[in-house]
Structure formats: C-alpha cells, structure tokens
C-alpha cells in the first residue's frame, strides 16, 4: 500500500476511536516494533536510491503526523478522565473567591500586649476560675460580709449552690489563690474576665476584662509600685505620658491609689477635650500596698513580707489607645468596627 492510501486508512480508524485502549492498539498497529510503518521502512531497501529518498521522506512525515494525532487524542482522554473524577468541569477563567483574613479582637490584642509587657519585667501569668467563692472574692480580701465596699461589687450568684459561689467581680481573688499555693518572693499577673451587676452604658459593662498584678517580697515599697506602673504606662501609651497617683480606698490595700495618666488626646488640660473632659488626666486603674489582713488570711507574716498589687480594666486601655468613646462597640461584633484594628 502506498503512503497516501495508508494515511487515509489511518485517518478513518483514528476517527472511530472512542476509548484509550483503542488508541493504544492503533498506536501499536502503526508505530509498534512490528507495526505497519516499520515494515514499510524495512521494504525501502528493495527500492532504487531515488525512490528510497522519496518514499522514505513520505513515511517519515506520516509517522510524525500519526504521533502528533495520537498524542493529542491521549491528552483529550486524560483530561476527560480528570473532569469525570472532579464532577462537572469548572470555568477556570472565573476570578477566585477572595479569602478573608481573620484578626484578633481589639480586647484580645491589648490583653496580649499587656501580658507581654509584664512578662518582660519578670512577671509570670496566673489564672483563676470565673466562678469564685465568697471567701476568695471578698472575705480574704478584707471585705467581710457587712462591708459597704460590697455594694460596688454587686454580682451574680450561682442559684441553689450550698457554697454560695458567685461570678468573680474582679481578678483580685487570683491573688488569694496564688498566695495560698506559693511562697514569696514572686511577681505575677492574672488576666481574665470579670462580672458585675451593673447598669450598662458607654463606660460600664456587666462583663469586662481585668489584669491583676501582684508582687510580694522583702522590702517591696510604694516606690516599686510607682516605678513599675509608670514604666508600664509609658510602654502602653507612649514615652511622653505622665502618671499620677491619687489616694484612694480599696479594702485589700493600704495605702491605696487610683492611677491616672496624662490625657493622650489633648496632652494637657484643654477645656473642650472629649477624652479627659478638660481635666488633663484619664483614670486608669486601682493599686496599692497589700493590706496586712490579706497577708494574714493566706498565712503570710506581714512583718516579713510586703507587696504591691494593681488591677487594670482592659476595655478602658483599649478605649484610650484606639480613641473609642463607647465600650459597647467591643461586644456588638460589627465587622465594620472590628476590621479597623
Ligand atoms: C478593682 O476591681 C480592684 N480589684 C483593683 C485593684 C487591684 C485595686 C489591686 C488595688 C489593688 P475597680 O472596681 O476600680 O477596682 O476596677 C478596676 C478597673 O476595672 C477600673 O479602673 C476600670 O478600668 C475597670 N472597670 C471597673 N468597672 C467596670 C465596668 N463596669 N465596665 C468596664 N470596666 C470596668
């Protein structure tokens, strides 16, 4: 058979292929070791030099053409096989669905920042339960049953609980738990959620976050407390921020102080400032020297040990840092608000 007829014969068989196995047998028939093209090449030696060159070149072109056609058909079969496995074919020219990146809630970010800051100063992190005993939340902190300070810490009690457990109103009970377990000296911070039966408004929530700090050792003094908090405030709010310690009362410290920072917005008393309301100062946290009655409650000798403690509200720090005027925005979880941080 001459080459053009052979090409016609191949084309007609090629058109009929419906399966990979048929393609493979056609490939063997034409290109295999004992295939049609091979025998044509072997027959060339019986021809004259001129015919040999002409027919040789025709056979070669046909071989290339057959190889290309079979290779393309093989790829078609393979693609079809993959599409079958994947289900319906997809339009790969469509734009990809955008991936939205998650991020930390601003309260979590500030909490982590404060924890890192105190870790650098050698504090270790302690944790306590959110459901606490009356004794840890109040009694051991020098707030007995009839003490008026309890009025400011009205909370939620666990119904029908024989121990009258409650949702802790501050992180200070972690001080008691830690001191019952560890011997001084130590430096600890205790971050966590706290609860109060409060009327909710732009600066008060009934669930919020605090970080407690407690340092106990020999000869720990008020100047250690001042130095530590001044440095922490500068790290949190900028090197130019000033700290002010105002005498205040918390039953579990003596002396006690309310700590303010200079206004981060107006940087001094500006009558119309919305953040400090014209005072030049922003109230930040409570602090003081651990009361001897607290040491007695955990069987520490108050003549041997002294210490300082502080408790800061995380929402308050976040509001100052980000210039937010309403605390409720943190809990409403609107993405427009949260995605700014
Ligand atoms: C206390 O809770 C003391 N345990 C702090 C303390 C610890 C003083 C150790 C001395 C030594 P106070 O009730 O002031 O104190 O709360 C501390 C901070 O929590 C406040 O400065 C404020 O930032 C935040 N805070 C208090 N009440 C609320 C509330 N309802 N919503 C949001 N933040 C609050």
Q: Are residues 155 and 279 in the same domain?
A: yes
Residue 163 near residue 136, CB atoms below 8 Å: no
Separation of CA 209 and ligand 1 centre (Å): 9
Q: Report the alpha-carbon distance of residue 136 to residue 176 in Å, rounded.
A: 6
**Is a pLDDT exceeding 70 seen at residue 89?**
no
Within a domain: 290 = yes
Residue 32 has pLDDT above 70, yes or no: yes
- Are 275 and 282 spatial neighbours (Cβ–Cβ below 8 Å)? yes
Looking at the fold, whether 170 and 262 belong to one and the same domain comes out as yes
Identify the three-state secondary structure at position 289.
Answer: strand
Question: Which of 55, 86, 117 finishes a domain?
Answer: 86
With a 6 A CB cut-off, is 205 part of the ligand 1 pocket? yes
- Could you tell me if the CB of 250 is within 6 A of ligand 1? yes
Same-domain pairing of 64 and 161: no
For residues 31 and 151, membership in a common domain is answered with no
The confidence band for 272, taking pLDDT boundaries of 50, 70 and 90, is confident
- Bigger pLDDT: 91 vs 308: 308
Measured from the Cα of 170, ligand 1's closest atom is: 2
| Structural domain count, the chain | 2
Lowest-pLDDT choice from 77-91, 176-190, 269-283: 77-91
**Span 76-104, average pLDDT:** 83
Residue 170 CB–ligand 1 contact under 6 Å: yes
For ligand 1, the distance from its centroid to the CA atom of residue 285, given in whole angstroms, is: 6
Question: Is there an atom of ligand 1 within 6 Å of 168 CB?
Answer: no
Ligand 1 contacts CB of residue 175 (under 6 A):
no
At 79, the pLDDT band (50, 70, 90 cuts) reads: confident
Residue 286 C-alpha to ligand 1 middle, in angstroms? 6
Q: Which of 150, 215, 250 to mutate to test the pocket of ligand 1 (most atoms within 8 A of CB)?
A: 250
Residue 277 in any domain: the answer is: yes
Tokens of 183: 């011997």
Mean pLDDT of all residues belonging to the chain = 93
Residues 46 and 81 in one domain: yes
Residue 318's Cβ-count burial label (10 Å; 0-12, 13-18, 19+) is: buried
Whole-number Å distance between alpha carbons of 338 and 144: 41
- The long-range contacts involving 254-257, CB below 8 angstroms and separated by at least 24 positions, are 254/288, 254/289, 254/291, 254/292, 255/222, 255/288, 255/289, 256/286, 256/287, 256/288, 257/286, 257/287, 257/288
Q: Are residues 68 and 110 in the same domain?
A: no
The yes-or-no verdict on residue 6 having pLDDT over 80 is yes
Boundary of a domain, candidates 86, 118, 139: 86
Give the domain extent around 63: 3-86
Residue (of 243, 234, 252, 236) closest to 288 by Cα position: 252
pLDDT (tens digit, 9 = 90+) per residue, 117-131? 999 999 999 999 999
Per-residue model confidence as pLDDT tens digits over 178-215: 999 999 999 999 999 999 999 999 889 999 999 999 99
Please check whether residues 59 and 150 belong to one and the same domain.
no
Identify the pLDDT of residue 249.
96
In a domain, 99, yes or no: no
In a domain, residue 92? The reply is: no
| 65 and 122 inside one domain | no
Residue ending a domain, choose from 86, 120, 150: 86
Using a pLDDT cut of 70, give the percent of the chain over it.
99
- DSSP summary character for residue 94: S
pLDDT of residue 60: 92
Task: Tell me if 246 sits within 8 A of 310, measured CB to CB.
Answer: no
Is the domain of 173 the same as that of 249?
yes
Pair 311, 285: CB distance under 8 Å: yes
Where is pLDDT greater, at 135 or 276? 135
Contact 121, 236 (CB under 8 A): no
Whether residues 232 and 269 fall in one domain: yes
pLDDT digits (tens, 9 = 90+) for 125-168: 999 999 999 999 999 999 999 999 998 899 999 988 888 899 99
Same domain, 230 and 271: yes
The pTM assigned to this predicted structure is 0.74
Looking up residue 232, the CATH number of its domain turns out to be 3.30.930.10
């Amino acid at each position: 058979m001459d080459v053009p007829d052979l090409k016609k014969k191949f084309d007609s068989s090629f058109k009929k292929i419906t399966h990979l196995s048929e393609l493979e047998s056609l490939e063997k028939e034409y290109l295999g070791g004992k295939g049609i093209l091979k025998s044509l090449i072997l027959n060339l030696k019986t021809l004259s030099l001129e015919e040999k060159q002409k027919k040789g070149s025709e056979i070669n072109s046909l071989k290339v053409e057959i190889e290309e056609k079979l290779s393309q058909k093989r790829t078609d079969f393979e693609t079809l096989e993959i599409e079958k496995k994947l289900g319906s074919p997809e339009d790969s020219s469509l734009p990809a669905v955008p991936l939205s990146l998650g991020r930390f809630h601003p309260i979590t970010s500030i909490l982590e920042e404060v924890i890192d800051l105190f870790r650098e100063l050698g504090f270790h992190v302690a944790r306590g339960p959110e459901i606490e005993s009356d004794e840890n939340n109040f009694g051991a902190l020098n707030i007995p049953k009839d003490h008026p300070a309890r009025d400011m810490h009205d909370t939620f009690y666990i119904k029908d609980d024989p121990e009258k457990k409650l949702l802790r109103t501050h992180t200070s009970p972690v001080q008691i738990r830690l001191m019952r377990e560890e011997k001084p000296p130590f430096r600890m911070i205790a971050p966590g959620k706290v609860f109060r039966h409060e009327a909710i408004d732009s600066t008060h929530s009934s669930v919020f976050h605090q970080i407690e700090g407690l340092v106990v050792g020999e000869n720990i003094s008020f100047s250690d407390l001042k130095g530590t908090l001044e440095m922490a405030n500068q790290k949190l709010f900028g090197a130019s921020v000033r700290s002010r310690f105002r005498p205040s009362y918390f039953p579990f410290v003596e002396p006690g102080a309310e700590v303010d920072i200079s206004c981060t917005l107006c940087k001094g008393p500006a009558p119309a400032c919305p953040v400090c309301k014209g005072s030049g100062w922003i109230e930040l946290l409570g602090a003081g020297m651990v009361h001897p009655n607290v040491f007695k409650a955990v069987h520490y000798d108050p003549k041997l040990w002294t210490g300082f403690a502080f408790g800061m509200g995380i929402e308050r720090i976040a509001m100052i840092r980000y210039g937010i005027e309403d605390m409720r925005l943190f809990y409403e979880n609107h993405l427009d608000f949260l995605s700014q941080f």
